[in-house]
Amino acid sequence: MTLDTLKTYLDPLLQGASWTLALFAASSLLSAALGLLVCFCRMSSLAPVRAIAKAYIDVIRGTPLLVQLFFLYYGLPELGVVIPGFAAGVLGLVLNFGAYLAELFRSGIQSVDNGQFEASRALGMTRLQRMRVIVMPQALRTIFPALANYALVLVKDTSLVAVISVYELMRAGQMLAGATFRSLLVYSLVGAIYFVMCSVLSTVFRRAEKWLSIPGYWSGAPDHNPAAKI
């Protein structure tokens, strides 16, 4: 196989990959925002607000993403709600990851020592200031490795929206394989492109984790390795 033939296969796939990146960008940002909102609802002092957040989390986590996507794209039109493919894909991913991120954020916030809340209260900070400046910066550092996991899962789960005819990397692969009958080659290339995207993303997260590390705290230095203490 010559480089030229490889290029004829890669071009449509890379075009699909650019849509995968768009899906990832939109749904990662929106699901983080939704997750934060649901997390605060889940920890609200108002029981009905908590109940709604819990119900939402339970429904989303209790059903497959594939079913949720089918529901949004094929189910809702029966009720007169028609959502275009890309929007339905983003909505499905956001609703799904928002629920998981809400619980992740909650675990991070609850891991912050109670003394931090007390010290910032004693200094006269408002609730919002305590959250923004004292609690969240610590919570986010704690959950950062898990956050990287979810980001990588999200990159790969964008491939599921191919089933609701959204054009992205997986869909581009299916179309190309269908037209050329060279499934082995095409899906190898598709897999390789996902792998490259994930590798770049995990490098970014590793760098960011290092950058966010606090001097004197666990930062990857061997003498601070908590695992060594077990």
Question: Interface residues with another protein (CB under 8 A)?
Answer: 113, 115-116, 118-125, 129, 133-134, 137-138, 141, 214-217
CB nearer to another protein: pick between 196 and 212 = 212
Instruction: Please state, in angstroms and rounded to a whole number, the distance separating the CA atoms of residues 79 and 48.
Output: 27
DSSP string, 25-68: HHHHHHHHHHHHHHHHHHT-SSHHHHHHHHHHHHHHHTS-HHHH
CB nearer to another protein: pick between 58 and 118 = 118
CB nearer to another protein: pick between 7 and 210 = 210
CB of residue 216 to another protein, shortest distance in Å: 2
CB of residue 126 to another protein, shortest distance in Å: 8
- Classified as helix, coil or strand, 216 is coil
Amino acid sitting at position 173: G
Q: Give whole-number Cα distances, 17 to 128, 132, 157, 209, in Å.
A: 39, 35, 13, 26
CB of residue 229 to another protein, shortest distance in Å: 16
- Maximum Cα interatomic distance, the chain, rounded to a whole number of Å: 71
CB of residue 142 to another protein, shortest distance in Å: 11
CB of residue 219 to another protein, shortest distance in Å: 9
CB nearer to another protein: pick between 62 and 115 = 115
Q: Exposed/middle/buried for 23, CB within 10 Å: 0-12, 13-18, 19+? A: buried
CB nearer to another protein: pick between 188 and 219 = 219
